[in-house]
Amino acid sequence: MSEAPGACAPPLLPEAWTLRSRRDDTADTFTLVLERDGGTAFRFAPGQFNMLYAPGVGEMAISISGDPADGTTLTHTIRAVGAGTRALRQRVPGTQIGLRGPFGTGWPMARAVERHVVLVAGGIGLAPLRPAVLALAAAAEARAAAGLTTALYCGARTPADLLYADELAAWARLPGFSVRVTVDQAGADWQGSVGLVTGLMKALPGDPARTLAMTCGPEVMMRVVATRLVTLGLDESSIHLSAERNMKCAVGSCGHCQYGPLFVCRDGPVLPYPRLAPLLRVREI
């Protein structure tokens, strides 16, 4: 039927951003830094995502993993799992990528800054948590002075798959910060922990009423992490997860990202555990 171009404007129309740099992080993960032509500031909340378009190939939902205080560039750490993400990995600095966003709900940073924060990341799940960590890092001195702690737990498949290794070490040195890392398997040369990330979580950092947790990773991991946090005494409403579903429009009008009655692109991706818990228990929902 309708052949002629229809009306299309942001947020459905992508904007051309220039690739400033590309870095390979692990065997299948890479980081792109994008800048906007015209240089106007881009504001996003930690936890939000963009729809990135590999020209001529396709579009995919990618969490923003950069510093929310930086309005001039956008950082995306991406795992190459399909044609679109592989096409992005082949982009050369100086070329353009399409971008729509930011979309979705972010981590509850306003509450987080006045509480002990526990962050639990699994695999590529550290990428959407990184903006939250950076925001907490920027407030580290003030938070430490108020007696508030930040505990980051990271799990990865092997030591070679750990993301942001240099930054993890730097964050560990910040006042009030602790960083614990574990892998699923390692050889004899690894000095760190081997085991499930919940094995690192022995106790809450302080008063549960003044603690907030954020977790991102494979759904099974988030389920066991949430269970562990509740066992340790944290109230369910203080736990936040980042959900993932098939994304097409990212504005809640195509129906693809539905998770029960939730639109992951609008009601999520960051969701409080009480809202997600009944859905997590249901197969194929």
Partner 1 sequence: MTHRAALHLPASRLDDLFVALRGEGYTVVGPTVRDGAVVYDELDSAAELPKGWTARQSPGQYRLERSGDDAYFGYVLGPQAWKKYLFPPRHRLWSAKIADGRFEVAAGAPEAPRHAFLGVRACELKAIETQDKVFLREPAPDGVYAARRAAALVIVVQCTRAASTCFCTSMNAGPRADAGFDLALTEVLDDDAHYFVVVAGSARGAAVVEALALRAASAAECAAATAAEAQAIAQIERRLDTAGLKEKLQSQPEHPNWAALAERCLGCANCTLVCPTCFCNTTEDTTDLTGEHAERWRRMDSCFTFDFSYLHGGSVRQSTAARYRHWLTHKLAGWWDQFGQSGCVGCGRCVSWCPVGIDITEEAKKF
Partner 2 sequence: MEDLGRLIKTHPFFADLAPDHLQLVVGCATNRRLGAGQMLFQEGASADHFFLLREGRVALELNVPQRGPFVFETIDDDEVLGWSWLMPPYRWHFDARAITPLRYFAFDAKCLRGKMEADHELGYALMQHFLPVIVDRLQATRVRMLDLFGATPGAGPGHV
Instruction: List interacting residues with partner 2 (CB under 8 A).
Output: 28, 81, 122-123, 155-157, 161, 182, 184-188, 190-196, 198-199, 202, 217-218, 220-221, 224
Please state, as a whole number, how many other Cβ atoms lie within 10 Å of the Cβ of residue 118: 25
Restricting to residues 186-245, which ones interact with partner 1 according to CB under 8 A? 244-245
Among partner 1, partner 2, none, residue 38 binds (CB under 5-8 Å by kind): none
Q: Provide the minimum distance between the beta carbon of 77 and partner 1 in the complex, in angstroms, as a whole number.
A: 15
Sequence-distant (6+) residues with CB within 8 A of 241 are: 214, 215, 216, 222, 226, 270, 271, 273, 276
Order the strands of the 150-156 sheet from edge to edge.
193-194, 177-183, 150-156, 116-122, 211-216, 239-242, 270-272
Q: Give the closest residue to 195 by CA, choosing from 224, 216, 235.
A: 224
Which H/E stretch holds residue 230? helix 219-231
**Could you tell me the two tokens for 15?**
């904007």
Q: For residues 94 and 187, which CB has a smaller minimum distance to partner 1 in the complex?
A: 94
Among partner 1, partner 2, none, residue 217 binds (CB under 5-8 Å by kind): partner 2
Residue of 251, 272, 277, 280 interacting with partner 1 (CB under 8 A)? 251
Restricting to residues 63-92, which ones interact with partner 1 according to CB under 8 A? 81-82, 92
In the complex, the residues that contact partner 1 under the rule CB under 8 A are 1-9, 11-14, 16, 53, 55-59, 81-82, 92, 94-96, 98, 244-246, 248-249, 251-256, 258, 260-261, 263, 282-285
